Amino acid sequence: MSTQQEFSAFSEKIKPIQILSFAIPMGAVIFTAIVVFLYFTQEAVTPEENQLLMIMSFAHIAVAFSGYMGAFIFTKIRFNDNYLKSLFESKGAIENYLAAYLQVRVVKLALMEGPVLFGLVVCFLAIQGGQLQANPIYWANLASLGILLVYSVLTFPTLDRLVVDFNHKQEIVEMTV
């Protein structure tokens, strides 16, 4: 079992994980602020009938589901039993774990951010066509932003969480041996 003291020695490896875990969702938040600003500064426009927005909204659901499943599957593939066994048998187990964790974290957040950006594009197009004012249901395309933000906050990689995750993975390997 590893302790916080052992992990603290790698604080220079933990800081980039935390910075990226904050920065990736913030890019989506900034884009959201721009879309909201455009919504409130748009002059009244006669809404154009646009079936494409409805199709894109349904496609957004499929893209979001695919992104979330991809994030889950990538984690399972990256931290498979063989990799974990070799990880814990190596000399620099903590350093190797942190490198793999960073890789998985960035890919997960990117896969979750894709649907957010897609949903924001739908909202942006709805604003441009006057549909968002007429049909506020298109704001539902921002649900993926809420999911990304909640996930990012609940799984933010603190030192404690990294130690717990490392120890949990180590226990899994020990149980399979």
Low-confidence ranges of the chain (pLDDT < 50): none
In this prediction, residue 159 carries a pLDDT of 93
In this prediction, residue 1 carries a pLDDT of 67
In this prediction, residue 174 carries a pLDDT of 85
In this prediction, residue 70 carries a pLDDT of 96
Q: Show Cβ contacts of residue 126 under 8 Å, excluding neighbours closer than 6 positions.
A: 50, 53, 132, 135, 138
> What gap in Å lies between CA 177 and CA 69, rounded to an integer?
29
pTM of the complete model beyond 0.85: yes
- pLDDT (tens digit, 9 = 90+) per residue, 62-111? 999 999 999 999 999 999 988 989 988 888 899 999 999 999 999 999 99
